[in-house]
Structures are given as structure tokens and as C-alpha cells.
Chains A and B, each alone.
Chain A
Amino acid sequence: MSERKHLIYDPARECMSRDELTALQNARLIETVKREYENVPMYRSRMDAKGIRPEDIHGVEDLKHLPFMDKRDLRDYYPFDLLAVPQSEIVRIQGSSGTTGKPIVSGYTRNDVDIWSEMMARTLTAAGCTKEDKVQVAYGLGLFTGGFGAYQGADRIGAMVVPMSSGNTQRQILMMKDLGVTLLCCTPSYATYLGETIRDMGLVPGRDIKLKAGCFGAEPWTEEMRIHLEELLGIDACDIYGLTEIAGPGVAFACLEKEGMHVNEDHVIAEIIDPVTEQPLPYGQKGELVFTTITKTGMPMLRYRTHDICYLTDKPCDCGRTFARMSRITGRTDDMLVIRGVNVFPSQIETVLVATQGVAPHYMLIVDRVNNSDTLEVQVEMTEEMFSDTVSHIEEVRRHITEQIRSVVGITAKVSLMAPKSMPRSEGKAKRVIDNRKL
């Protein structure tokens, strides 16, 4: 497809000149730092420790002087100590998994929900969505931001929303077919699974299924998977990026050029830093992605380290947007895994094992992708305490561990019981993850 018609939700913002954008970012950053300093004791003391006063920040150029924030902060100041407004101003809580047993949560003011909705409206519009479209939301609707984000964006555009949430594939396809759904939002692996099931059912995309585009994200995927998905469903498959800490999906989005994702730079400032020296890196250079929110009021994030590795580019895009683009995520600076769209840290699994009676804290995680769906195997050592001469007793122990992992991490793992002493011991940095997915 050569000549594309690029739809832009808010051309005044999305296509503004670099100078105008920088001026806007400067003003909004100064305002945000001031509010954060005045209202969040944790960040004030962190700035004080570095000898930085709000009046030292004159704009984006001074961003590098500000202290970082990290996922750890959301755990340590859980649930409300990072709020910059009274709790009564919070109209929504969204959350995701933390690094240990506890989830992390983010509080949204009415303003924050509006900003997020706007970012998602831009995202969906960039994929070709208008009020004539029917948008099926097959991301989970709940604490996870995927479902609500897609719903709010489509609602803002005035499209017809079909809020399916995740799972129940047969019913998803039934609605898609009967309602003539044109746009799909879910994880790329679930989209692939839907596509294959559609074909297995003898339905023909283009004839029985009217999909024209999809916004897929929340898990890493490759350009090959994206092209496969486009062919499978006969659609434009667009990558989206987001995280609960910053807003949710829609922080950055691909346009129909499908060359990287435009960062909503009037709401967030993106930086790439060297994860070791913590120094900012220029455009084009790979490093850790860091975000600063400049319009969020509930729980603003300043220099939030995502631990995602990618690069940024400010090369002009043929779609006409001036927002810089981020590349696909190519890795992590920590050991976080994304399994079926859920963030999983090995330390969470360890927390569960340590807390489970009779289970040794030695384990191995094997991640794979079978039939386009991620699988997690947790290998645990058999212990005297867990062992019994009857299969049913051991199976009960295994079910118990599976259930504990599910309740903390949020995904069902296959627990395998291994011979004693067969798992790596913590000597310095034991290798605890084998990821067999081709990503």
C-alpha cells in the first residue's frame, strides 16, 4: 500500500513545530516540578539531597539535573504517598504487578483520565479509527490499563465500543463477525490466536470479518510477527506503547507508516539514558527509556526509569506528525519478563516460594511461546517436606504452588517438581530464567 491517508486526531498539537513544542514542554515541566516539590515529600527530599530547587529548572535542558524515579518508589510509597493531590481528587486507580508480591498502583485525577483518553484517541485515530468505526476491546478490563485505555480512547472519538475484555475467544469472534467490528485492541499474541481461530472456523477475513486495523501492545513482539498478523487478518497492525506509571497504553503509538511509535510529547518528555552512567544519550543511540510526565496531576512521574531499552528519533515522519518516535523495545535493563502481557519479575516467584511451607527457594523459570501463546514453567525442587508416597498428595502441593503464583503474579504457570539440588544456587547472580521465545 503506497498512498496512505493519515488521520490525525489533534493536528494543532501533534504537528506543532519543534520550537513551539519545546516552549510548551518547558512551561509544563517547570510547573510540574514546582507542584511535585511542594506536594510530594519523597521527591522534595530527593531534590534537596541533590541540592536542586524548583527554580533551578528552566526547561527541558535542565531535566538532566533532576533525580530519577523507579518502580521501587511505587512499591516503597504504596499506595498513596506519591500523590501530589488529596485522595479526594483521585477518580481512578489502575495497577500492575510490582517486583515482589505487592502490586503497584497509580492514582488518576479527572485531568489524568482525560489526558490518557486523549492519548488513546490519538493512538486509535493514527490507526485509522473514526466515529464510523466499531472498536473491539479485547485487553483485560480491570486494574490493568489496557482495557480501560482502549475503551476511553474509542469513546473519546465517538466510535462504537465493544468492551469484551480478554478471553472467551469464540464469543470474541462471534461479536466481531455479527457486529462487523473494524478495529481490534489486544495483545499481539492474542490477535494472532484470534486470527488463527477465525481461519480454523472457516471464516474469511475481508468477507466474514470486517477488521481493517488493530492497535497491539503490552508485550514485546517482532516486525515479523507484525507482518504475519497483517496478512493473517488482512489489517494494518499498529504497535502501541504505554505503562501504568505514566498513564497506560497510548504513551506512544505507531502511525500507518509503521516506523516507530510517536511519543505524545506534549504530555510526556522521553529521554534515553545510559543505564550504567545514567547520562542522557543523543537521538539514535540505544539506551534506557526514561519518561517525565508534564501534564499529569495525580501522581506525576519525574524521570521515571522504564528499564525498557530502545532509541528515539526526531526524523520527520511522512504522516506529518512532529512528535519524536521511539523504536520497538529490544530488551530490558532488569530481569522483568512480559508473559501474556503481564509483567513478571523472577523475584515475585521467589517471594511466593519462600512464603510457601516446605518449598525450597531454588527455582528456574522457562518461558516459551507455543501456538502464539506464552507459557511459563516454574521448576521447583522437591523437598522432604513436600514429598509423599502418593501422587495425589504431591499433586495437591503442586496445585497449591500454582495457585499461590497465580494469585501473586496473575498468570497460571506450569509448576514442575525437580530433583533436589538440581536448581542453580544463588552464588552472586544465578541464571534463573530461560526465555526460549524468538523475540
Chain B
Amino acid sequence: MIQQLSVFLENNPGTLRAMTEILGIGGVDLLALSLADTQSFGIVRLIVSSEQMYTALGLLKDNGYIAKMNHVICACVPDRPMGLSELLSVIESAGLSVEYMYSFLRAYASGTALMILRMNDGNLAESVFSEKGIRMLSQEEIDSL
């Protein structure tokens, strides 16, 4: 599994910009990002290289943000119609569920899309994916993107 950073944001104009600006000025390179928003708050999830992970965490905490690190799966999906739904069929037949999912910003290899998945059971999902031949990126591979 790979590391992910999640950050709490108040649902107000300018909060997302302010946060990305802090990371940007600190030289943090965002590899993937998703924003979950509700009526009253937002959660930003970020993938950065492991080298920059603690820089990013430090910058956020120093600026008074609530941020946490956790683990997610980065799966390769064939970049063609039905690619994603095949992956989801595997998940469904294994009785697993996706808590949230988003796609990578950066291209990986031609014909392949990268999806970030937060599963209800990450370890089980990893073994199911390996069994079914779904390729997942390691932290080292993320770092060398």
C-alpha cells in the first residue's frame, strides 16, 4: 500500500487555495489529489512522494491544519472502456467495498490509468488484487514517478 495524506478543511472560500499555497511554497509536488466535500466541511486527500511526505505533514501542522497519514492502494487499470468496471467487479465478488476512490494526476504508462482506492479492508484487497492479476504500485514506484 502507499501513503496518503488527508487534511481537514472548513467549507469556506479560499481554504483549499490557502492550503495548496502553503504546500506549493514549501516545494511539495502533488502527485494525486481528491476533495471530498460536505455541506459544512471538506477532506483533501493527497499523494506525495515519501521523501516529501513529512515535509508536507510538517508544513500543514505548523500552519494549524489537522492532517493525518494513512494507507491506500494504488491500482493499475487498463485505460479503455470497461477497465474500471472490471476492477470493481473483482472488488464486489470478493465482498469488499470501496470507501472512496480517485484517479492519479500523473500519467504512468501508456494504456494504463492509476486509481487510488481506500478499501474497507486494505490487506484483504491487496491479496485479492494480486490473485486476480491486478497490478498495484509500491511506494518506491510512486516515489520514482
The chain A residues found within 8 Å of chain B, CB to CB, are 382-384, 387-392, 394-395, 416-422
Contacts and interface: CB of A to CB of B under 8 A. Distances in A.
Contacts of B100: 389-391
B10 A422 contact: yes
Interface in B25-80: 36, 38, 40-41, 43, 45, 64-66, 68, 70
Query: Chain B: interface secondary structure?
Result: strand
A414 to B, nearest CB: 8
A188 B118 CA distance: 50
B38 to A, nearest CB: 6
B10 A418 contact: yes
Interface bin, chain B: 20 to 34
A421 B64 contact: yes
13 contacts: A383-B66, A387-B66, A389-B4, A391-B38, A392-B99, A394-B41, A395-B38, A416-B41, A417-B40, A419-B8, A419-B10, A419-B65, A421-B64
Contacts, number: 52
A382 B8 contact: yes
A389 B116 CA distance: 13
Contacts of A421: 64
B41 A382 contact: yes
A388 B40 contact: no
Given A389-B6, A390-B118, A416 B40 contact: yes
A391 B43 contact: yes
Interface in B65-105: 65-66, 68, 70, 99-100
Given A391-B36, A391-B43, A420 B66 contact: yes
Contacts of B40: 416-417
Nearest to A395: B38
B99 A387 contact: no
A422 B66 CA distance: 12
A417 B41 contact: yes
